[in-house]
A = this chain, B = another copy of it.
């Protein structure tokens, strides 16, 4: 399986917010993450970077508008 873990950047830290993510889609003003178990999470963020061989998706919080 080729899922990755999604981390949200918080300053210098990266906080794990959802493991084994399969799909990431735009949703309202953020993203909808869905993992291989069907667990969904909505975050007000954009995708900053990917490192797929290391199974990492790095998300960056969006400012409140």
* A interface, CB within 8 angstroms of B: 1-4, 21-26, 36, 46-53, 55, 57
Contact = CB atoms under 8 A, between A and B. Distances in A.
A1 B49 CA distance: 18
A46 B53 CA distance: 20
* Copies of this chain, whole number: 2
Given A2-B2, A2-B4, A4-B2, A23 B47 contact: no
A52 B23 contact: yes
Given A2-B4, A4-B2, A26 B53 contact: no
> Shortest 3 CB-CB distances between A and B: which pairs?
A2-B2, A24-B50, A47-B47
Contacts of A55: 2
